[in-house]
Amino acid sequence: MKKHLVVCSLLLPAGALALAESPPVYPSPPGQGTGQWASAYASARSLVGQMTLEEKVNVTRGFPAVDNVCAGNSGSVPRLGWPGMCLHDAGNGVRATDLVNSYPSAVHAGASWDRNLTYLRGLYMGKEFKAKGVNVLLGPNAGPLGRSPLGGRNWEGFGVDPYLSGQLNYETIIGHQEAGVIANVKHFIANEQELHRRPYFGVEAVSSNVDDKTLHEFYLWPFVDSLRAGVASVMCSYQRVNNTYGCMNSKLLNGVLKTELAFEGFVLLDWNAVHDVRSVNAGLDMVMPLGGSLGANLTAAVRNGTVEEDRVTDMATRILAAWYLVGQDIDFPTPGIGMKNLSLPHEQVDARIPEANPVILEGAIAGHVLLKNDNRALPLSKPTMLSVFGYDATVPRTKNTDVLFQLGYTSSPEMGQAVLGTEQHFDQAARGGTIVTGGRAAANAPSYMIDPLSAIQHRAAADGTWVNWDLDSFDPTVNGATDACLVFINAMATEGWDREGVRDDFSDSLVLNVARKCSNTIVIVHTVGTRLVEQWIDHPNVTALVFAHLPGQDSGTALVQLLYGDADFSGKLPYTIAKNESDYSVFESCRPVVPGDTNPQCDFSEGVYLDYRHFDALNITPRYEFGFGLSYTTFEYSSLSIKTQDISDAAGQSLWDIAAEVQVTVTNTGSRAGQEIAQLYVAVPESPPRQLRGFDKVSLGPDQSATVGFQLTRRDLSVWDVVSQSWDLQEGNYTIFVGASSRDIRLYDTITI
């Protein structure tokens, strides 16, 4: 692994053999009920003030489901008319139920770089959760960010960059909570692998050992944006952070989240995460799915003085305040009313709304990324003959809700090595059919599924095209008269496992077998994220490459519109595609270093030098860089201007004050309309060469220009000072870069502070 200079942390003691420590921070600060929380806190305090100790404890813990399949159900307070809450998954639609939509997954939304589409996705998804009686939507995901490209849940987040993640988490949370459901941003914090994420058979969960500077500048960044959006709940993570379990880590929950960031909502633990009454004093507010040791034990802990009753009062108040904040005291359905056992007769609660349909399709289109297009192989123009190959081209054989959301069409056991402690493997390619989502908690069953081959067949019928297809052969026969060969492969991932690699021999060989026989081979990859393409990308017959990500139920419809030019490619990569696995600063997941090790450690020694920051710092050439994506048209950048504000005196100024305003003109220089995502990067002194600090999506007709504006806050230009425990705006030169990707910089200038 390549090393970078990392500032030593307050949390990481000096000494090569010393284990990282997380210092205790007590007591847990009570919520203040300020700003947008004021009215909600007033209502919550009034109701909680009428509760007995046992009733307050009831609010904070989970109970077995009686008549629903919600992932968790809180206790209720019937005497006071409080109905309790249903908590449920998650990332791309309502899980484990019928009559809901399957939205593009978060990585797909991340590849769109589209704030408005992401907000609308969050809004309509939230409306479906509300219709199903779900109070708490267990998302969005600000962690994992994607420290390792093998992370099994990376696809549940918007991308590897904390700024991009923060911006899109912000929009999602606004949408969810405007719809009337409580957003639950997760997993707090540094939860970057599935392997050893939980303790088992005497082996502790892995410890994410992260220094204070890296924590603030990288992993905490999108959580700060989430809190700024008013997120009402935060989920603490399974693994340890600096050798203390995330849901018992008082430094993180009491010190960082509730004191430094002044979080007013409630902290929810990940399901069955390690906990006991000490977690309450450390800042945990709600336990799921059952009360565990925090049921009657919490009442007893108050009676014997281990926990102050004021702490329990604060827990219940924070939970009730979140309930009031999003308006669940007014016309909210019975919790879990639409979440019945599907194998039993149940009322049909149709959560779908017509307004969502165009948003789902537009979002599916926007997350496709065109990476190669030699000799203008695309768009297709009424080909006489098309040939379609690959296991990913068609719908899976059976639509079964459990299979779709848990396993992603593989035959692997549901629980992986991270839970059982036995060596299990998850197939890199889901060869049972096309994928529209990854697996388990963030997945759901689509209302319908338009697969690529079906959509191609319908287009062929309209155009008079002859279609050949062979989805089973490893080395298929190719008709010599075909105009183009479309090869469909995928890369799958799921909660519970980390990926075993970022390529697979079967799929790569399939592509090569077709390319040897077809001079116009177009490869489409449905993928959970990073997937290497080196085995075939330079083959002269591979003319085009599309990363189709995880588009949701309108997958085939969106793809065909793009392949035929009815829609324009505008997506950009939210991660870097390397040439070699060794090019990444972190590749494999952490694991015990010797047999019998019961205390696995994972040192985040690379600091903030991940993905493009690492590639840029060491001048490593990627195959396709962060932010890269082609279009059917071309764009020119001109007229960069930067206007700085007086920011020399930090006294009285906020991190959110505007430090500089940047403008640039973008012109469509091609012959057709298109959309460009202009990106702004900043070189901050004593930091990575470039860091994303702005982006904007603009639609332009041929020869049309638009002025794109960016606002840089003090926070965008600051670094975390571990001594003063504050953000510091350094004196020096700051270079502002604007371009079409992290490497395709068109204009730049320098400001001095």
Could you give the strand order of the β-sheet that contains 86-88, starting from the edge strand earlier in sequence? 72-73, 86-88, 136-137, 182-188, 233-236, 266-269
Angle at 12 between CA 9 and CA 13, to 5 degrees: 110
16 Cβ partners below 8 Å, 6+ apart?
A: none
Contact, 495 vs 463, CB < 8 A? no
E strand map for 313-465: 369-373, 385-389
Cα–Cα distance for residue pair 107/602, rounded to 1 Å: 25
Burial of 166 (0-12, 13-18, 19+ CB in 10 A): buried
Cα–Cα distance for residue pair 295/284, rounded to 1 Å: 14
Angle at 264 between CA 184 and CA 653, to 5 degrees: 110
270 in active site = yes
Half-sphere exposure of 361 (CA within 13 A, CB side): 13
Half-sphere exposure of 414 (CA within 13 A, CB side): 7
Cα–Cα distance for residue pair 390/388, rounded to 1 Å: 7
Residue 143: Cβ within 10 Å count: 27
> Roughly what angle, to the nearest 10 degrees, separates helices 162-178 and 221-228?
30
Contact, 415 vs 496, CB < 8 A? yes
352 Cβ partners below 8 Å, 6+ apart?
A: 99, 100, 101, 128, 447
DSSP designation for 436 = S
Query: What's the 3-state SS for 530-585?
Result: CCCCCCCCCCCCEEEEEECCCCCCCHHHHHHHHHCCCCCCCCCCCCCECCCHHHCC
Spatial CA neighbour of 237 closest among 324, 121, 151: 151
Could you give the strand order of the β-sheet that contains 484-491, starting from the edge strand earlier in sequence? 369-373, 542-547, 521-527, 484-491, 385-389, 466-470
Spatial CA neighbour of 486 closest among 363, 365, 392, 367: 392
CA dihedral 554, 527, 616, 608 (to 10 degrees): 90
Contact, 467 vs 503, CB < 8 A? no
Query: What's the 3-state SS for 224-287?
Result: HHHHHCCCCEEEECCCEECCEEHHHCHHHHHHHHHHHCCCCCEEEECCCCCCCHHHHHHCCCEE
Residue 644 pairs in a beta bridge with: 660
H or E, element range at 126? helix 115-131
Cα–Cα distance for residue pair 439/416, rounded to 1 Å: 12
Catalytic member of 89, 161, 212, 270: 270
Cα–Cα distance for residue pair 246/96, rounded to 1 Å: 27
* 42, two tokens: 């007033």
Burial of 579 (0-12, 13-18, 19+ CB in 10 A): middle
82 Cβ partners below 8 Å, 6+ apart?
A: 47, 59, 76, 320
Start-to-end CA distance of the chain, whole Å, equals: 35
Q: Which residues are catalytic?
A: 270
